[in-house]
């Protein structure tokens, strides 16, 4: 099994499928995977390559393994190092694809049926693939979502709230700042207020955190800025999720405009007593699956290496994940109505 896993993982990682470039990987999977007893279909998405849905048995499987095809930019070619593979997608999420595909083929060979493997586009940007799949899938009772969780079943995950922030000023010659209004200063004052804003501590997910990105102003160094912009991404908790927008809007004055552009709630996942559990502070396609049954989150690899230049996965971790996912499937199969 080790050789099969490593070979397939290296093949998948050799294909650049950074968000928006999934089509080559979709083509490879449709040609490579369809000979393992699965019916392969494409969930069409306008102007996109589409999701890949492999189904063993029933056209509407009641247990679905699910992960994503795209990776974050930039593409990093795979490197094999002893029992590990390094490079973009090693654990997030091509290692998940290999794990789940191995599980599905083994379950099929053992005579099991009525399960599926759903591979989604655009997880790393806006979860478009998951949002489309959520409207198309019927009869699913358990959705097992693959992300790097160190082979632990996840109990809960933070929500996400994303804001656009625009600071407005008046541009003048930088030698005479008193005649203008500096948008960068306005934004800095807003950040100071945000730093001093408290959010309630959550007994499950802990602290509410946020990160500021895409921060810029296009003014020349000798011109007072008339506009500065950024995005703020909050990792909300059960205690803070419904409070964040109100608190942020309370910090706004006439120099700051704020709009919320994305919001998804914290999630309680399904767990089983014989599995080691944990919580995570990252988002996933799970937030988009509101109509697809009970959600679980599990997978090999560490989130701490995902999205980094040192992204990696141990082949032995994938082997362990295969055994645990099969056990998970056996338990869930006993719960299916």
Structure tokens at 126: 């806006």
Kindly report, residue by residue over 33-55, the tens digit of the pLDDT.
Answer: 777 789 999 999 988 899 999 99
Sheet arrangement for strand 79-81: 79-81, 84-86, 312-314
CA pair distance 176, 172, nearest whole angstrom: 7
CB atoms within 10 A of CB 337: 4
Which residues, 6 or more positions from 136, have their beta carbon under 8 angstroms from its beta carbon? 43
Kindly report, residue by residue over 286-316, the tens digit of the pLDDT.
Answer: 999 999 999 999 999 999 999 999 999 999 9
Indicate the pTM of the whole model.
Answer: 0.93
Q: Write out the CATH class of domain 159-264.
A: alpha beta
CATH of domain 2-157+267-333: 3.40.630.10
Kindly report, residue by residue over 209-262, the tens digit of the pLDDT.
Answer: 999 999 999 999 999 999 999 999 999 999 999 999 999 999 999 999 999 999
Structure tokens at 109: 């060979």
Give the DSSP letter string of 76-134: ---EEETTEEESTTTTTTHHHHHHHHHHHHHHHHTT--SEEEEEES-TTTT-HHHHHHH
Domains in the chain: boundaries: 2-157+267-333, 159-264
**Distance (Å) of CA 298 to CA 2, 44, 170, 180, 209:** 20, 27, 51, 54, 23
């Amino acid at each position: 099994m080790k050789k099969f896993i490593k070979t397939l993982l290296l093949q998948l990682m050799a294909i650049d499928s950074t968000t928006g470039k999934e089509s080559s990987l979709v083509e490879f999977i449709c040609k490579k995977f369809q000979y393992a007893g699965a019916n392969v279909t494409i969930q069409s998405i306008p102007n996109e390559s589409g999701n890949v849905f492999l189904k063993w048995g029933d056209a509407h499987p009641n247990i679905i393994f699910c992960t994503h095809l795209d990776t974050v930019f930039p593409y990093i070619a795979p490197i094999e190092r002893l029992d590990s593979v390094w490079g973009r997608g090693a654990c997030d999420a091509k290692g998940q694809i290999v794990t789940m595909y191995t599980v599905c083929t083994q379950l099929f060979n053992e005579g099991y049926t009525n399960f599926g493997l759903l591979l989604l586009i655009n997880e790393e940007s806006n979860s478009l693939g998951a949002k489309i799949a959520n409207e198309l899938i019927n009869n699913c009772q358990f959705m097992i979502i693959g992300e790097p969780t160190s082979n632990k079943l996840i109990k809960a995950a933070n929500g996400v709230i994303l804001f656009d922030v625009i600071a407005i000023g008046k541009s003048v010659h930088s030698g005479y700042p008193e005649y203008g209004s500096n948008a960068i200063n306005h934004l800095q004052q807003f950040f100071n207020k945000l730093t001093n804003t408290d959010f309630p501590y959550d007994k499950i997910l802990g602290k509410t955190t946020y990160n500021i990105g895409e921060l810029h102003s296009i003014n020349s160094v000798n011109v007072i800025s008339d506009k500065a912009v950024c995005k703020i991404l909050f990792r909300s908790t059960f205690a803070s999720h419904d409070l964040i927008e109100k608190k942020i809007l309370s910090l706004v004055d006439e120099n700051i405009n704020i709009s919320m552009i994305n919001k998804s709630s914290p999630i309680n996942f399904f767990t089983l007593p014989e599995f080691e559990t944990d919580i995570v502070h990252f988002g996933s396609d799970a937030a988009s699956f509101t109509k697809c049954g009970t959600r679980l989150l599990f997978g090999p690899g560490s989130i701490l290496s995902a999205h980094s230049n040192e992204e990696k996965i141990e082949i032995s971790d994938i082997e362990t994940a295969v055994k645990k996912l099969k056990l998970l499937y056996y338990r869930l199969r006993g719960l299916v109505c």
